[in-house]
Amino acid sequence: MSEYSKVKIGKLKLKGEKSRKKHKSKKRKAEEGDGGSSSTSTHESDKADHGGWWSITALHQISGSVAVQLGGAPIYVRALDNGLFTAGAPHDQGDGPSPEEVLTAVPAGDDRIAFKSGYNKYLGVDGAGRVVGRADAIGPREMWQPVFQEGKTALLAANDCFLGIDDDDNVVAVSTTAGPDQMVNIRSSTLRECDKPKEIPEEERGKLLDVEVNYVKKFQKFQDKRLKINKCAELRSARSEGKLHETLLDRRQKMKADRYCK
């Protein structure tokens, strides 16, 4: 055995140089980065359980048709024809609020919201702390302040008390503190911006042959003033697999007609 074979081969280490920590494995990174997917799945599950009504978590989301869920059970604030409000009957899983439980949210200031019932009256609070819907216009008593904290929501009335229910299931605002009985969940049926279907680009509208013609016209060098088009059989599977742009680029590259290809 030669002397060279006895030498341990390894990375050259300089004096005073600190060893670098090994990077996390790809598997561990994937597990740690799965939080966003889990959050989305929870949101969609909660939305489906309440008939498509999703939970509002910020003031700017409160607009249009909303429903105020009382606690964690599928029970909503329900308007009565005498101007008072009560806790509605529990709903089955997958059911949304009833028409009498749907309110219309109207901005009423920087951090205030007004709610209009299906009887076209605004919700307020009277001298006894009862929530009533008898006003035709928004006044100081018809302004509500949503409070969001640590994933929980409460509604502060104009009398500085939080919305809740009493022993007779009447909706009232008599508690100056927000305990478990004052926790609500404001839900909306409005289509969120992130849930809106993506608009199809103009170049991708029409038949697959038209799609390729549009992209060729957009990127091709018209040296001979003629369009160079391949047969579009493979584009059908590429569109269904979500690889339409990549396939179109490959086809133009093979034709050497794209000024953006190498």
Tokens standing for residue 129: 């702390």
Across the range 230-243, mean pLDDT stands at 62
Range from 88-102, 127-141, 193-207 carrying the lowest mean pLDDT:
193-207
Q: What are phi and psi of 184, to 5 degrees?
A: -130, 170
Indicate the pLDDT class of residue 50, thresholds 50, 70 and 90.
Answer: very high
For residue range 138-181, what is the model confidence (pLDDT) as tens digits?
999 999 999 999 999 999 999 999 999 999 999 999 999 999 99
Q: Which residue, among 98, 42, 49, 89, has the nearest Cα to 70 in the 3D structure? A: 89
The correct CATH number of 48-190 out of 3.30.460.20, 2.70.150.10, 2.80.10.50, 1.10.20.140 is 2.80.10.50
For residue range 133-147, what is the model confidence (pLDDT) as tens digits?
999 999 999 999 999
Does 214 or 68 have the greater pLDDT score?
A: 68
Number of DSSP helices (H) and strands (E) in the chain, helices first: 5, 13
Percent pLDDT > 70 in the chain is 59
Indicate the pLDDT class of residue 221, thresholds 50, 70 and 90.
Answer: low
Q: What is the mean pLDDT of the chain?
A: 79
Q: For residue 139, how many other CB atoms are within 10 A of its CB?
A: 13
Ordered by start, the domain boundaries in the chain are: 48-190, 202-254
- Which amino acid is it at 146? P
CA dihedral 53, 54, 58, 59 (to 10 degrees): -10
Per-residue pLDDT at 198: 55
Q: Where are the alpha helices (DSSP H) in 9-95?
A: 26-32, 35-49
Q: How far apart are CA 169 and CA 83, in angstroms?
A: 15
Per-residue pLDDT at 29: 46
Per-residue pLDDT at 262: 47
Does 81 or 196 have the greater pLDDT score?
A: 81
Indicate the pLDDT class of residue 238, thresholds 50, 70 and 90.
Answer: low
Across the range 79-104, mean pLDDT stands at 96
Q: What are phi and psi of 220, to 5 degrees?
A: -75, 145
Per-residue pLDDT at 43: 82
